[in-house]
A and B are shown apart, each in its own frame.
Chain A
Amino acid sequence: MTETKYTTQEQIEAMRQEIQREKEKMAGISSGKEPSGGLLPQRRQAMKTVGGAIFLALCLLIVWSIISIQMTKSRGEIPNILGFQLFAIESGSMEPTLKIGAVIVSRKPKNPENLKINDIVTFKTLSNAIVTHRIIEVVVNDDGSESYRTKGDNPGNSADQELLTSNRVIGVFVAKIPLT
């Protein structure tokens, strides 16, 4: 087909009509005249509002978390978000279950006196180091209270010397974030 250079008056008029039709279509949609499309702008508005609210809530949660973490850190405590804490594994004592560099999520136990064998717990040692090991034995003391014997999963590890008392338990393992 041979193209002609100049736009004719007919082509201009046809284009004008096309634009006009498109404008009428758009006007119909926005005034809700179309039966199927009448709710579209309202729905879009509602979606926008909900989306905005979710976005705002997320922003507030992030800001609140940052503030809360900073405040907890300044008090010398371990920061948590909604009762959950994050710990990074720094030694190989729990390999192959938890490798060095892995990040774990722990939850503050509701009842640290009732922990069971095989629970992985994060606790403070008597020298104030934070350790994550597995409970291998529940020991009943003379006064009836319970202590726990812990050990790292690494086959090369022996059981920990000191018994873990419930007041030193920080968290119970919930999940591993597979970063490594």
Chain B
Amino acid sequence: MKHGPQRIVMMEGISSGEHFLVGGEIPRRVLDDITLSIRKAEAWGINGTSLFEIRLLLEIMANIRPYDRGKCALIERGMMRRKRVILRHVFYIGSSEMLYNNMNVLEFLMFATAKFKIDKVVLQEQIFELIITIGLGHLSLTPNHMLTREEKAVITLIAAAYSDSLMIVFNLPEYVWDEVLIDAIAQITSFIRERGKTLIIATQNCLLIEKACSHTAILQDGQLIFNGTVEDFRLNFDKVEVIIRDKAVHAVREKLALLFPAYKLVSKDDSLMISSIGSETIDHGAIYKKILESGFTPDSIEINPKTVENAYKELMRQHDL
């Protein structure tokens, strides 16, 4: 049985050398006192209000930006504070221009995996079928120069998945992802985790975090305001329990508010969201029963599946953002 390093990133009290200079205010560090532990085969989504903060954190993680204070170890090896070298065990994706434009997608991936000592035909078949399985068959033989920057980034991520780097840093927080690419990234992430590698994604896309990541960390004003599993994040911060959909939902809002004094009711368009206030366990059946007993039969009542997006909004609201 192989025992590789278990701790991939260990950050203790990391502070950046960069400062934000705002007119009339005291300069503040872009990142301050960041403590984070990322383990093997985890997929982390780093989110936050500032693209610059997110990008800088991942650059420090990849050892290409120096930090000013604190301790940081990558793959259980300490890194020098002033060293700006991407180490062999880190696959850093900080740009989508890593593809050769004179090749197509499959050719590039074969080129990127050329050093592996396995049968090239078998490898080609594996890669080709993987591209199709993750829903990017329509790009499998497309010339690289015709791809969008987001598509190029995903192709680079496939190359990273096949590399022998234990840690992949996907630092493109400003990119805009559509659902096809999000699904593709989610499937590549599963592939990466199965191979015992760790993926760290910088993004402000909550759906990407929800679909692809096992863990998330949220940055605000240079500090981490949350880090933990995506499931904990969704369950603890998305307080909406039940969503009622009906055209007449506004008319019965007051009546329902009396029925549920311990809940917060927020209406939006044709929906009414019933959110818990405290942290006690919610009986969804009892809510459903009470609504029907009130004599109001809405078009639909659904239990909120708890999303990262709602949780993120709630977290931001708690921090007055």
Contact = CB atoms under 8 A, between A and B. Distances in A.
B121 A12 contact: no
B128 A26 contact: no
Contacts of A23: 121-122, 125
Residues of A contacting B: mostly: helix
Interface residues on B, range: 10 to 19
Given A12-B132, A15-B106, A7 B121 contact: no
A19 B137 contact: no
B140 A7 contact: yes
A12 B143 contact: no
A22 B176 CA distance: 39
Given A7-B138, A7-B139, A7-B140, A16 B128 contact: yes
Contacts of A7: 137-142
7 contacts: A3-B146, A5-B142, A7-B142, A15-B128, A19-B121, A23-B122, A26-B121
A23 B125 CA distance: 9
A96 to B, nearest CB: 54
What band does the interface of chain A fall in when counting residues whose beta carbon is under 8 Å from B? 10 to 19
Interface in A10-65: 11-12, 15-16, 19, 22-23, 26
A3 B143 contact: yes
B224 to A, nearest CB: 40
A26 B119 contact: yes
Contacts of A6: 138-139, 142
Nearest to A12: B137
Nearest to A27: B121
A3 B145 CA distance: 11
B128 A19 contact: yes
Given A12-B141, A19-B121, A19-B124, 9 more contacts: A3-B143, A6-B138, A6-B142, A11-B141, A15-B106, A19-B125, A19-B128, A23-B125, A26-B119
